[in-house]
Structure 1
Amino acid sequence: MKSAFKSLMLGSALTAAVALSATAPAMAQTAQPVQMMQPAPSLNLSAHGEVKAAPDMATISFGVQTEAPTAQQAMRDNASRMTEVMAALRRAGIAERDVQTSGLNLSAQYDYVQNEPPKLRGYQAVNRVTVVINDLTKVGTTADAVVAAGVNQIDGISFGLKDPTAAENQARQMAVRALQAKAQLYAQALNVQLSGIRNLSEGGGYSPEPQPIFAVRAMAMREDASTPVAAGELTIRIDITGVYDIAR
């Protein structure tokens, strides 16, 4: 009985081995090597377009700083002076919507002497305001008016455009033309043909830059002269990057 069982097992094993050996050549013949896809050759280029434009608005940031022995007195003095400043802005023709509080701070002030603990001198209150001026002829006179009303800090002035869309679009067109010309130049130098642009991305744009302005009216040329302010020109720049496919 055991001999018959061993014979049966041996026969099954031989049959499986024969079947495996018969299919092995077929599997070897159908297996194909994996081919890695090579990326298409391309040109990765960048260009920019730049236009100049005259500003039609200005933004001034200024503040009122007061000091007093107590915090309450410092805040009261600051509020009284800022009230006069707001009234001066209204008289200068600045609309309420163009005036925004940008910061309010109260801090303790100390005197420091070597080898001694700090001594409280009092408190300092600072109220900062940002004003948009839509008439550039009023920039200098507005700065003088708020200084006369109590402003003792002017942080800076920036000129801008109420609507930069047209200037940005013009810069975009110039950037695209520059990118196309650069791509054609490279294609000719490499003796290849371009098959089209695969990707285009944009950066840059309109960004007004702050400029310093005199904070003290006494620095004007004459006592009756308004602070001179020159608007100059703005630079609107658009940067783009493009990927061009090269025909195989």
Structure 2
Amino acid sequence: MTIRRPSAARTARLLAATAVLGGLLVGTAAPALAAAPERTALRKAARAEAPVTVTVTGNGHAAAAPDLAILSVGVEAARKTAKEAMAAQNTAAEALLDVLRKQGIADRDIRTDSLSLFPVSTQTSEGESKVTGYQAGQSFSVKVRDIDRTGQVIGAVNDATGDAGRINGVVFDVADPSALRVRAREAAYKDAHDKAAQHARLSGHRLGRLVSLSEGESVRPGPGVTPALAADEPSVPLAPGEIEEHITVSAVYELI
């Protein structure tokens, strides 16, 4: 067997290549190994610097006397034919609109909410349904801005429309709710702040900066009244009460 030994030149080239490859491997691994402890330290620092926060909900409300009444009134008429029913409804609606204008209600404050015409059926002795007539009707939304005259307006409508008239109800409100809403919002914010300060005190912290604040939908419930009217009642006594505005806010505070 003949053993061939590499030449001195070939041996030198192999050693040089090995040295270069080893340097590359070492050069790429070193930064990665150096960066690993650095990333770990950053993660630990981020966890240590995460602020302690508290989330609270504040509720606020404000009340005021109403200065606006919204009436729901209408007329209905039943006749044998659809044409006759609509004609009777038109006559009653014209009387209603006329008396509203005489009571000082502006046209911009009168709006038709619905108009209807439908057949009226009865059941025969044989059990069949038979159309015996038609009923037509129209309902209106009326704003009374002089709230002290609300009962008088209702009585006038009832008197002018007679049996065809319908008083469906009245809701009291404020014409401009912005001032009421501002007061309710201030109360809600103070409630949230006071709750957060209490949580900070109870947990051994001090109240820090406000991180975020959001407001929910405001609610302004209006009391409704459905009066029962006598045909000869000239005016209706009403009790407007108060209008309330409710606002809810959600706040996040930092504890330090």
Q: What's the TM-score once normalised by structure 1's chain length? A: 0.82
Tell me what 2:60 maps to. Answer: 49
- Which residue of 116, 119, 138 corresponds with 1:108? 119
* 1:117 shift after superposition: 3.6
* 1:115 shift after superposition: 7.1
Tell me what 1:4 maps to. Answer: none
RMSD (Å) for aligned C-alpha atoms: 2.9
Seq. identity, %: 29
**d(CA) in 2 for partners of 1:240 and 1:201?**
6
Alignment of 1:1-248 (within 5 A): 18=22, 21-23=25-27, 25-32=29-36, 33=39, 35=43, 37-38=46-47, 40-112=51-123, 116-150=127-161, 151-205=164-218, 207-218=220-231, 223=232, 226-247=235-256
Segments of structure 1 that go 5 or more residues without pairing to the other structure are 1-6
* 1:210 shift after superposition: 4.7
Once the two structures are overlaid, the 10-residue window that deviates more, 112-121 or 99-108, is 112-121
**d(CA) in 1 for partners of 2:146 and 2:251?**
40
* 1:14 shift after superposition: 6.6
* 1:30 shift after superposition: 3.1
Segments of structure 2 that go 5 or more residues without pairing to the other structure are 1-9
* 1:97 shift after superposition: 1.7
**d(CA) in 1 for partners of 2:178 and 2:233?**
39
Contact 1:159–1:208 (8 Å) recurs in 2? no
* 1:161 shift after superposition: 1.0
Who wins on radius of gyration, i.e. which is larger?
2
Q: Secondary structure at the match of 2:104?
A: coil
What residue identity is the alignment partner of 2:74?
G
Q: Secondary structure at the match of 2:99?
A: helix
Contact 2:59–2:247 (8 Å) recurs in 1? yes
| Aligned residue-pair number | 237
Q: Secondary structure at the match of 1:89?
A: helix
**d(CA) in 2 for partners of 1:238 and 1:83?**
42
Tell me what 1:3 maps to. Answer: none
